[in-house]
Amino acid sequence: MKKGGSGFARRLVAWFARARRPMPWRRAPSPYVCWLSEIMMQQTTYATVLPYYERFLARFPDVQALAAADERDVLKAWEGMGYYARARNLHKAAKRFASEGWPATAAEWASVPGVGPYTAAALASVLNGEHMPVVDGNVARVFARVWALDDDFHKLPARTRLAARLQPEIDRCAHPGDFNQAMMELGALVCTPANPSCVQCPLARDCAARKAGTQADYPRRPAKKALPVRKETAVVVSDARGRVLLVENTEGGLLKGLWELPSVEPREGQVQVFSHFRLELSVFQHEGKSAKFVDPHAVPLATSTRKVLAACGLL
Ligand code: SF4
């Protein structure tokens, strides 16, 4: 910490030195493992990421191996973590890094596919020592409580204002990466969404919400709109070799490159009268992309398809 550092930044970084989790990418931080872990941790918890991270790193030990891989293998290694655009962007960016080298500033990181302003700030502070505060959901929750902020942090202007308020604090730190990781770690471990552990918190004496007993009121949450419901019907057909009838999604969008169960549309039914009963046959038809029998273990599956096949005992 540089001379003149505020008590708050000092306490936060000192707490981090004691409480930080032994994440594998913190053991020997390199651009590859830091970048990979940041992308995996987007929208995903540490506990979920950990086994995927270990497997992914064993499969693609460095950026050259990832760059040289087939996209289908990258998606297969990512299977089950969701948000597959992350895996596609990771692969695309690996090709760039393998030929052009690693970004050196937050601005350069922000131009990488799949790296937003938050991830760019996190990587540039840890890898390049850049003094740029991160504002993710954890950080917003912590400081909404500490400073009793009423902002809606889903909106960019609120996050930008918070980053500006944190800037003088990180500017005082000799290791800005530690300051950023400390804020995120505090949100993940202590200042949790429900029941924050204020007695363990290095910011307790600064915290307006703790003093007022209003921790649960922050961050403010705008009323959620109900999601529209889309109903589809899918069929499960398997053969004696354990292969399943699947369709590869070759269109753009979130599920591109993944394999899904064929979806079907209702068609006019048929009625046939036999001597002892009357058969009423419901008819569904699959149209469009051609389905084929494939080994479901060998292709990257959409999450909904993986869940259905597991429930049917086919995985
Ligand atoms: S004192 Fe409590 S509410 Fe305030 S920042 Fe710490 S854990 Fe969060």
Residues 59 and 148 in one domain: yes
Tally of CB atoms within 10 A around 52: 16
Residues 155 and 239 in one domain: no
pLDDT of residue 6: 59
Mutate to test the pocket of ligand 1, among 147, 189, 190, 218 (most ligand atoms within 8 A of CB): 190
Return the CATH number at 110: 1.10.340.30
Instruction: Report whether pLDDT(12) > 70.
Output: yes
**What percentage of the chain has pLDDT greater than the value 90?**
83
Residues 190 and 247 in one domain: no
- Ligand 1 neighbour 140 (Cβ under 6 A): no
The encoded tokens of residue 298 equal 């060998």
Residues 145 and 288 in one domain: no
- Ligand 1 neighbour 210 (Cβ under 6 A): yes
- Ligand 1 neighbour 209 (Cβ under 6 A): yes
Contact 185, 12 (CB under 8 A): no
- Ligand 1 neighbour 203 (Cβ under 6 A): yes
- Ligand 1 neighbour 158 (Cβ under 6 A): no
Among protein residues, the one whose CA lies closest to atom 8 of ligand 1? 191
Given the CA of residue 141, which atom of ligand 1 is nearest to it? Answer: 8
Q: How far is CA 288 from CA 237, 246, 251, 261, 299, in A?
A: 17, 13, 12, 13, 20
Residues 239 and 213 in one domain: no
Residues 130 and 159 in one domain: yes
Given the CA of residue 207, which atom of ligand 1 is nearest to it? Answer: 4
Question: Quick check: is 228 in a domain?
Answer: no
Write out pLDDT tens, residues 75-99. 999 998 888 999 999 999 999 999 9
Tell me how far the alpha carbon of residue 207 lies from the centroid of ligand 1, in angstroms. 6
Write out pLDDT tens, residues 144-199. 999 999 999 999 999 999 999 999 999 989 999 999 999 999 999 999 999 999 99
Write out pLDDT tens, residues 280-303. 999 999 887 789 999 999 999 999
Residue that finishes a domain, picked among 159, 184, 217: 217
Per-residue pLDDT, averaged over 225-237, amounts to 92
* Active-site amino acid positions: 38
Write out pLDDT tens, residues 18-47. 999 999 999 888 999 999 999 999 988 899
Question: Quick check: is 289 in a domain?
Answer: yes
pTM for the whole structure: 0.80
Residues 83 and 14 in one domain: yes
Question: Quick check: is 116 in a domain?
Answer: yes
Residues 206 and 271 in one domain: no
Instruction: Report whether pLDDT(3) > 60.
Output: no
Q: Is 299 left (phi over 0), alpha (psi -120 to 50) or beta?
A: beta
Tell me how far the alpha carbon of residue 211 lies from the centroid of ligand 1, in angstroms. 10
pLDDT of residue 257: 86
The encoded tokens of residue 218 equal 């922050």
- Ligand 1 neighbour 196 (Cβ under 6 A): yes
Question: Quick check: is 55 in a domain?
Answer: yes
Per-residue pLDDT, averaged over 110-139, amounts to 94
pLDDT of residue 102: 97
Instruction: Report whether pLDDT(260) > 90.
Output: yes
pLDDT of residue 4: 42
Residue that finishes a domain, picked among 168, 192, 217: 217
pLDDT of residue 159: 94
φ and ψ at 301, to 5 degrees?
-105, 145
Per-residue pLDDT, averaged over 105-124, amounts to 94
- Distance in angstroms (rounded) separating the CA atoms of residues 123 and 133: 11
Question: Quick check: is 227 in a domain?
Answer: no
Tell me how far the alpha carbon of residue 33 lies from the centroid of ligand 1, in angstroms. 30
Question: Quick check: is 1 in a domain?
Answer: no
Could you tell me whether strands 263-273 and 233-234 are parallel, antiparallel, or unpaired per DSSP bridges? antiparallel
Tell me how far the alpha carbon of residue 117 lies from the centroid of ligand 1, in angstroms. 25
Question: Quick check: is 127 in a domain?
Answer: yes
Residues 74 and 132 in one domain: yes
Q: Which residues, at least 6 apart from 132, have a Cβ–Cβ distance to it below 8 Å?
A: 106, 120, 121, 124, 125, 163, 170, 176
pLDDT of residue 2: 52
Average pLDDT, the chain: 93
- Distance in angstroms (rounded) separating the CA atoms of residues 158 and 150: 10
Number of structural domains the chain divides into? 2
Domain containing 239 equals: 233-311
**What percentage of the chain has pLDDT greater than the value 70?**
98
Question: Quick check: is 267 in a domain?
Answer: yes
Residue that finishes a domain, picked among 217, 241, 258: 217
